[in-house]
Structure formats: C-alpha cells, structure tokens
Amino acid sequence: MSPLQEFAPIAVLLIIAVLVAIIISIISRLFGPYKPTSRKVSPYESGMKPIGSASRRYSIRFYLVAVLFILFDIEVVFFLPWAVVFRDMGLYALAAMGVFTLVLTIGLIYEWKVGALEWE
Amino acid sequence: MEAVCENIFSTLAPCLTSSGWDPSLAQFVSILLGVLLITTFPLLLALLLIWAERKVAARVQDRLGPNRVGPFGLLQNIADALKLITKEDITPAGADRIVYNMAPVIAVLSVILIWAVVPFTSTNIGADLDIGVLYFVAISSIGTLAIMMAGWSSNNKYALLGSFRVVAQLVSYEVPMVLALLVPVMIAGTMSMQGLAVHQLGMWFIFTAPVSAIIFYVSNLAETGRAPFDLIEAESELVAGYNIEYSGMKFGLFMVNEFIHAFTANALFTVLFLGAWAGPFATEVPILGFVYFMVKTALLYVPSLILRATVPRVRIDQMMAFNWKFLVPVSVVNVLVIALALKIAQGLGLTPENATDFVSNIPQTIVLLIANLVVVVFALTLVRGSVRKERLMTSGKRAEPAAGDAEQKALAATVAGH
C-alpha cells in the first residue's frame, strides 16, 4: 500500500463526519421555531443589558501559558520520533536527548523562580 | 470463496471481489461501510454514556436518576435529543456567524476522527497508520481550537472568559499527557496502534510503566474536562462557560463531543496501557477482542463518573500549579529514567526476544519497575517541598495579625501621647 492510500479511509471519514455534523447542527433550524427578536438575540449577561463589547483585553498569564505550551510542544515533537527509533540507537541518543531536555528544564525552573507560574 | 468471506467485518473487499465486483469499487464500498460504522458508533454511544453518567451521579446522591422513559430510563436521552431538535436555534447579535456555526462541527469532528485509529479487534481498525499515536495527539488538539472558536465568536463575556480558562487548561495538560504516552511508544518501538496492541500480548504496559499510566489518566481527566478538573463547566462562576450562547442541536453537539471525548480518552488508555483487545482467545475470535476492548474502557470510565459525583472542583491556580510544578517535571523525569532503564535492560540482554511471550517479558519488567520506583521517589520529594512551602506560608499568615496588633497598639500609644 502506498503511504497515501493508507490515509484513504481517513479522507472518507473526514467527509462523512463533516456531513453528519453539519446535518445535525442545522437540524434544529429545520424543525424548531425561528422568530428572533432583539431581546432574544442579545448576548446573555445575567439578565442585564450587555455593557460594552465582549472582545476586551485578557490577562497576560494566558499568554505566558501559551508560550510555555509552545516550547514544550516542540520538545514533544522532537521526542516522538526519538522514542520510536530509541532502541536501535546507542547511548548517544539518550545523552543527546538528555542535554536537550536539560536546556528546557532550566527554562522551566527559571520561569518557576521568576514567578511566571503563580496565579495570585 | 467461502474461505475469503469467513470474516465479513475485516475481509469485505476481497469477498466482494471474489463474487464478481470490480476490485477498486469493492475497496471503496468496504471503506465506506466501515466509515459509516465508525461515524455512527460514537454518536450512538454518547446517548448511552449520558444515561450512565446521570444514573451513576443519581446513585451517588441517593436518587433514582432517569427511570420513566423506556426500560431503566434508557430512552431518556433520545427524548432529550428530540427536545433539543425542536428548540429555537439562536445566533446572538454581534456574533461572528461563520466561526460561531463552524465551532460545534469542528468539536464533533475532532472526536470522531480519532476513532479511525482505534484498534477494535485484532483485525478491525479504520486505518492502521504508522503514526497512529501522533495522529491521536494532533486530532485531539483540534478540539481545543473548537472551544476557542466558540468562546470568541459568541460575543459574550462569560463565554470568552470560560474559553480562555479552558484553553489554558487543555494546552497545559497536553504536555504531560504526550510525555506519558511516549513511554509505551518507547517500549514498543512503534507508534502504530495495532503495533502497540500486539506488543502488549505478553505484558500490559500498565505493569511495566505504572507511573506513566497514572500521569496519562490524570492528565486525560483534565484534557477531557472531567471532575475535579471540570473548569469547562464552572456553572457557579461562569454560568456555562464557552457554550453559553448555543442552543438546540448545536449545544447538543458540544455535549456529545464532551462525552465521546471522555470515552475516547479512556479507549486510548486501554490501547496504550491495557493491551487494547488483548484477552483469552482474542486473536482467534476477533469479535471477542471487541468485547474485551469495550469492557476495559467501560471499567476505566466508571471511576471518572464516580469522581465527578464526589470530588469538589479545583481552583484554576491550583490546577495550573499542579500541572506545571508537578505533572510536567515528573513526566519529563519519567521519560528519561525509563529510557535509561530500557538501555540498561538492553545492555544486560534482558530485552524480550518475543514480546508476545509472558515469561520472557518478566526481567525487563522488573528493571522498569525499579525505574518507576525512582520516579515515585522524585515525585514525593517534589510534593514534600511544596507542602513545606505551603506550611511556611500559612504559619507566616498566622503571625501577621499579631504584628498588625502591635502596630495598632503603637499607633494608639502615639495618639494617646498627643
């Protein structure tokens, strides 16, 4: 089997799943009532009139978490192929990955000490 | 022809070809039927899962739960789905319509696509990719995107706040989850789901790598938004979170997504640590493998239901601290220590020549268990350090009012002096 043929079932599954999901999501538009009023479509804010727009500034902590995640996700991407061929390689593979992880761990410890992980 | 058509589930294509069909057409029909099965199976399963959830929660709280519609209330969710279908479908004013309507579709897509690589039996799998595990990680991250889209496009403050929190939680817990599933990949030397299952015929990886199994289970609870990490549904502070503005079947899709995701995560745990379809006679009679697979997954699923009914929700700062200060360091150390132990076992010649044989797996398992003990010791030191810090902080807080009293007395004295 060619590598692309292996993905053929997934391509078919993608198409079918998208179709099924779209049909389910428009089904209540077909069977339910549809009489929008300005009260009904206003965003829910505990029964009060919404104050200002919802798109406002957000806490810097979420940004820090996202950056931290990207760093570790890249680490994981390097880890995955390494884990597959790990057995066939010598101690060098272990040492190389150890150094790579050490650099990232120092980064995590630094971020910890600086207080970027605190949510107070 | 009889020999080819013996197992209709796995050999439909050659069976149709032998009865005179065009080979490519037969291939296509068999793929299409399999895909329809894979798509409908999780959606129907969700109805059962919601019923189980309500029933277990009811029993824990000394109630009966749904018991009116159908036998044992089994048809309650079909009635609920019909109710959702006849509800009005509302798009809030100021919402980004395209993103708003796409979000539930993508949410459901992200869980259904995972089922393509789940090995149901020794012969039945949607697509046995070489990169099965990577595929799972990649597809399940799409669910995070759907939540972000839903929260951002709703033009609602609760939804936006909820989605920020949830995304922070989901991306954080993805790191220990992936690091934990590296260990089975390392031991088996393959990322293919069927390969992982075959490698566990001798010894399940939960015995060789219990620490990774626990990390994977805990981070999966967080990743799927189950209690005690169910900040996704913090109804007491965020009303409903990211899906507050959705109504009708669009809300239903988010709900279905949540339940199937929890079940899928447990199915993946079964594949990675409990040998998927492995069990007596599973290789000879494939349909038995399916039964074993489902039973194992359901046994894993029930504890998460009881947890949800009994454990209080954690705060977001506790949750993030638990992830970045405990789970991530432990899982990184876990991967490196297990790697070292595997190399030691290899050097001593303890690697099993035949992975499907139970006895030849024992020496390597013992070495890996010792490595796991080292990781547990590391984890306990980490916990001890943080507990000591917390104790110091609380005793410091207790000392503070006393200092304040002294200051006030001094102030009163100066006032009196004047």
A56-90: per-residue pLDDT in tens?
777 778 888 888 888 888 888 888 888 888 878 77
First to last CA, chain A: 55
Per-residue pLDDT, averaged over A1-19, amounts to: 79
Q: What is the ipTM of this complex?
A: 0.87
> Chain A residue with minimal CA distance to B30?
A9
Judge if the upstream peptide bond of residue B228 is cis by omega within 30 degrees of 0: yes
- Residue from A56, A76, A85, A108 to probe the interface with B (highest B Cβ count within 10 Å): A76
As a whole number of angstroms, the distance between CA B327 and CA B318 comes to 12
Q: What is the pTM of this model?
A: 0.86
Distance from the Cα of B410 to chain A's closest Cα (Å) equals: 31
Tell whether B139 lies on the interface with A, counting CB pairs under 8 A. Answer: no
As a whole number of angstroms, the distance between CA B173 and CA B137 comes to 12
- Taking CA atoms, B257 is separated from B49, B129, B161, B263, in Å, by 11, 24, 20, 10
- Residue from B84, B139, B157, B320 to probe the interface with A (highest A Cβ count within 10 Å): B157
Average pLDDT, chain A: 81
Distance from the Cα of A34 to chain B's closest Cα (Å) equals: 6
A21–B109 CB contact, under 8 Å: yes
> Chain A residue with minimal CA distance to B117?
A10
Tell me which chain B residues have a C-beta less than 8 angstroms from the C-beta of A95.
Answer: none
How many other CB atoms sit within 10 Å of the CB of residue A74?
11
Residues A81-106: tens digit of each pLDDT: 888 888 787 788 888 888 888 888 88
- Taking CA atoms, A116 is separated from B36, B69, B175, B349, B387, in Å, by 47, 52, 17, 45, 20
Radius of gyration of chain B (CA): 26
Kindly list the structural domains of chain A, giving each domain's residue range(s) and its CATH number in brackets, ordered by start: 3-113 (1.20.58.1610)
> Chain A residue with minimal CA distance to B35?
A13
- Taking CA atoms, B162 is separated from A91, B35, B346, B375, B386, in Å, by 46, 34, 48, 35, 28
pLDDT of residue B2: 43
pLDDT of residue B216: 92
Tell whether B87 lies on the interface with A, counting CB pairs under 8 A. Answer: yes
Residue B208: which of B335, B55, B365 has the closest Cα? Answer: B365
Sequence-distant (6+) residues with CB within 8 A of A93 are A82, A85, A86
Residues 249-308 of B with CB under 8 A from A: 249-250, 252-253
Tell whether B317 lies on the interface with A, counting CB pairs under 8 A. Answer: yes
B92–A43 CB contact, under 8 Å: yes
Contact B240, A15 (CB under 8 A): no
- 3-state DSSP assignment of residue A37: coil
| Secondary structure percentages of chain A, helix, strand, coil, to 5 | 70, 0, 30
Sequence-distant (6+) residues with CB within 8 A of B221 are B227, B228, B229, B304, B307
First to last CA, chain B: 111
| Angle of helix B23-60 versus helix B286-310 axis, rounded to 10 | 30
Contact B355, B199 (CB under 8 A): yes
Q: From first to last of its 418 residues, what are the pLDDT tens digits of chain B?
A: 344 555 555 566 667 777 777 777 877 787 788 788 888 888 888 888 888 888 888 888 888 888 888 788 888 888 888 888 888 888 888 778 888 888 989 988 888 888 888 888 777 777 778 888 888 888 888 888 888 888 888 888 888 888 888 888 888 888 899 989 888 888 888 888 888 888 888 788 888 888 899 999 999 888 887 777 777 776 666 777 788 888 888 888 888 888 888 889 899 999 888 887 877 777 777 788 888 888 888 888 888 888 888 888 888 788 888 888 888 889 988 988 888 888 888 888 777 777 677 777 777 778 788 888 888 888 888 888 878 877 787 776 655 555 555 555 555 565 565 5
> Chain A residue with minimal CA distance to B89?
A29
**DSSP-assigned letter for residue A50:** P
Q: Which of B31, B85, B159 sits opposite A9 (nearest CB)?
A: B31
